[in-house]
């Protein structure tokens, strides 16, 4: 019998009646499966008709995405991967895509339009020019230095935002709200630090005005969204959408928690499940430590054991048991209470989401960009556990697994292709750490002062030595046996 997929849900509203109210920079899979879906739901209710999205970008890859989206009238294919059955919809909340230019002139002009009241971003955790050692904005980064010297023709998203804010201010137009949708602790504060920090380099007076007058709400976002490849395109073809080169697949779950700080107005997102609260930090700490920290915990053992998919890692008793023990003994005890949330139940939900075989998220994706993710997702839990005198052997093993992964081969000898912006340097350090583990944790940009803690240094050295001499499976088994 031939399987016939359910029909594709099309936008339930007149897209010609929409007008833009948001410019979104960074049209990756997560944005199209998250914010765009929430807005699509609102528009289907007859709401938010003046909050359509204009896509934008500042990188070469954004230009390729622009071509793909314009070829299909800016409709996004979103396939939800429920184990009970896949469903597909075409999301129509985006109505245009701004030309991607080296000097960002078109983007600056679009953001200068008074109709734009929110500028949102998904530029990845590593895209905010943060010095990992201090956790602060890095004014010495080459791209920031360029924008400070060329404020009218900036290369970065933050330079473009600043130029548009300056143009609106000169024209007497109220500033837009700047809303980060990236996975960062205090993402609003981080974004403000980047915009204000850049402004200070060329115009301290205007920097003070931005700090006093522009809103940067903090938010927590969550939805597992794998990268698009042949499998995802084949799924789209099953729904009769083979012409879409950039379909998005995602889990059914989604969550968005926001501070209600939008002086220029906002869509009524609470009508479609967005939580507005003053306690965003509690939600984001829970998510970043338990979910993102959990992803980091299962990523590198799976990568070293040649496990391809996340659900396969969750089905492996050693990796799954490792996750359970690290979460329950070394991560969750240091997560502050969250309103109306049971942390044990939240972790159970996370386990179920990781185990969803339909998502087919890859271990390699979870291993990506550890140099930016470890300081945000693992080191804070480690630091708290050390301060409390608690157990740290599991988190030390997570760090050692990352180091061993960066050496560039799995336990079976398979070559690991570069998987970090700093891969060449990380591989050099990882290979040197085989003889002297202190070399790895001396990276202040990753570990700060934590790398000098004698308890952590001893636990890390022991774990790394075992990984090299006994392999990942035996090292995990030894940890689980206590």
**pTM: predicted TM-score of the whole model, two decimal places:** 0.89
Q: Where in the chain is the domain with CATH 3.40.50.720?
A: 15-278
The shares of helix, strand and coil residues in the chain, as percent rounded to the nearest 5, are 50, 10, 35
At residue 214, the pLDDT reads: 98
> Looking at the DSSP assignment, which residues form a beta bridge with residue 409?
415
pLDDT 10s digits, 433-470: 999 999 999 999 999 999 999 999 999 999 999 999 99
Architecture per CATH, domain 15-278, reads as: 3-Layer(aba) Sandwich (3.40)
Residue 70: C-alpha distances to residues 51, 55, 438 (Å) = 19, 10, 51
Give the whole-angstrom CA distance, residue 337 versus residue 283: 9
Cβ 155 vs Cβ 58: under 8 Å: yes
At residue 1, the pLDDT reads: 41
SS3 67: helix
**Element at 477 (helix H, strand E):** helix 472-480
Angle, CA 190 vertex, CA 187 and CA 193 arms, to 5° = 150
DSSP 9: B
**Element at 286 (helix H, strand E):** helix 280-286
φ, ψ of residue 441 to 5 degrees: the values are -80, 0
Strand order in the sheet with 255-258: 219-222, 255-258, 275-276
> Looking at the DSSP assignment, which residues form a beta bridge with residue 179?
120
CATH topology of domain 281-480: 1.10.1040
Q: State the distance between the two ends of the chain, measured CA to CA, in whole angstroms.
A: 52
List own/partner pairs for 376-380 with CB under 8 A and 24 or more apart. 376/125, 376/183, 376/184, 376/185, 376/288, 376/292, 377/288, 377/289, 377/292, 377/293, 377/295, 377/296, 378/293, 378/296, 378/297, 379/446, 379/447, 379/448, 379/450, 380/185, 380/289
Sign for the pseudo-dihedral over CA of 115, 117, 122, 125: positive
Give the whole-angstrom CA distance, residue 370 versus residue 86: 31
Residues of the chain with pLDDT below 50 are 1-2
Q: Where in the chain is the domain with CATH 1.10.1040.10?
A: 281-480
> Looking at the DSSP assignment, which residues form a beta bridge with residue 55?
24, 97
Give the whole-angstrom CA distance, residue 232 versus residue 440: 37
Task: Give the pair of three-digit tokens for residue 388.
Answer: 């409390």
Give the whole-angstrom CA distance, residue 399 versus residue 463: 9
Q: Write down the residue that tokens 């007149």 correspond to.
A: 14
Give the whole-angstrom CA distance, residue 299 versus residue 164: 40
Residue 125: C-alpha distances to residues 57, 150, 187 (Å) = 16, 25, 9
């Amino acid at each position: 019998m031939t399987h016939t997929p359910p029909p594709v849900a099309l936008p339930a509203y007149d897209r010609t009646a929409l007008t833009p109210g948001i410019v979104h920079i960074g049209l990756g899979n997560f944005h199209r499966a998250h914010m765009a879906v929430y807005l699509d739901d609102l528009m289907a209710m007859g709401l938010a008709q003046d909050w359509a999205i204009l896509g934008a970008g500042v990188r070469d890859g954004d230009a390729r995405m622009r071509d793909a989206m314009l070829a299909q009238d800016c409709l996004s294919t979103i396939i939800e991967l429920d184990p009970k059955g896949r469903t597909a919809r075409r999301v129509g909340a985006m109505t245009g895509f701004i030309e991607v230019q080296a000097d960002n002139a078109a983007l600056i002009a679009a953001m200068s339009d008074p109709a734009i009241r929110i500028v949102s971003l998904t530029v990845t955790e590593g895209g905010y020019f943060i010095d990992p050692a201090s956790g602060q904005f890095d004014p010495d980064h080459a791209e920031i230095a360029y924008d400070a010297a060329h404020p009218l023709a900036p290369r970065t998203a933050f330079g473009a935002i600043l130029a548009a804010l300056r143009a609106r201010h000169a024209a007497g137009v109220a500033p837009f709200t700047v809303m980060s949708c990236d996975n960062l602790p205090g993402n609003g504060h981080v974004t403000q630090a980047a915009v204000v920090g850049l402004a200070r380099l060329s115009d301290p007076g205007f920097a003070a005005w931005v700090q006093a007058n522009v809103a940067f709400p903090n938010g927590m976002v969550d939805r597992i969204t794998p990268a698009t490849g042949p499998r995802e395109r084949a799924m789209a073809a099953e729904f009769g959408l083979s012409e879409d080169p950039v379909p998005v697949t995602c889990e059914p779950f989604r969550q968005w928690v926001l501070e209600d700080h939008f002086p220029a107005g906002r869509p009524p997102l609470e009508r479609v499940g967005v939580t507005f609260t003053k306690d965003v930090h509690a939600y984001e700490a829970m998510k970043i430590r338990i979910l993102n920290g959990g992803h980091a915990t299962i990523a590198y053992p799976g990568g070293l054991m040649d496990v391809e998919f996340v659900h396969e890692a969750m089905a492996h008793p050693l990796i799954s048991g490792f996750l359970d023990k690290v979460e329950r003994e070394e991560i969750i005890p240091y997560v502050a209470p969250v309103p109306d949330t049971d942390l044990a139940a939240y972790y159970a939900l996370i386990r179920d989401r990781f185990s969803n075989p339909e998502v087919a998220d890859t271990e390699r994706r979870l291993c990506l960009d550890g140099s930016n993710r470890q300081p945000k997702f693992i080191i804070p839990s480690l630091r708290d556990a050390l301060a409390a005198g608690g157990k740290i052997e599991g988190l030390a093993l997570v760090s050692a697994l990352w180091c061993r992964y960066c050496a560039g081969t799995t336990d079976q000898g398979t070559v690991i292709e570069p998987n970090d912006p700093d891969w060449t340097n990380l591989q050099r350090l990882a290979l040197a750490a085989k003889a002297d583990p202190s070399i790895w944790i001396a990276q202040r940009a990753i570990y700060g002062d934590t790398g000098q803690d004698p308890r952590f240094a001893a636990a890390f050295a022991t774990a790394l030595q075992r990984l090299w001499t006994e392999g990942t499976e035996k090292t995990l088994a030894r940890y689980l046996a206590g």
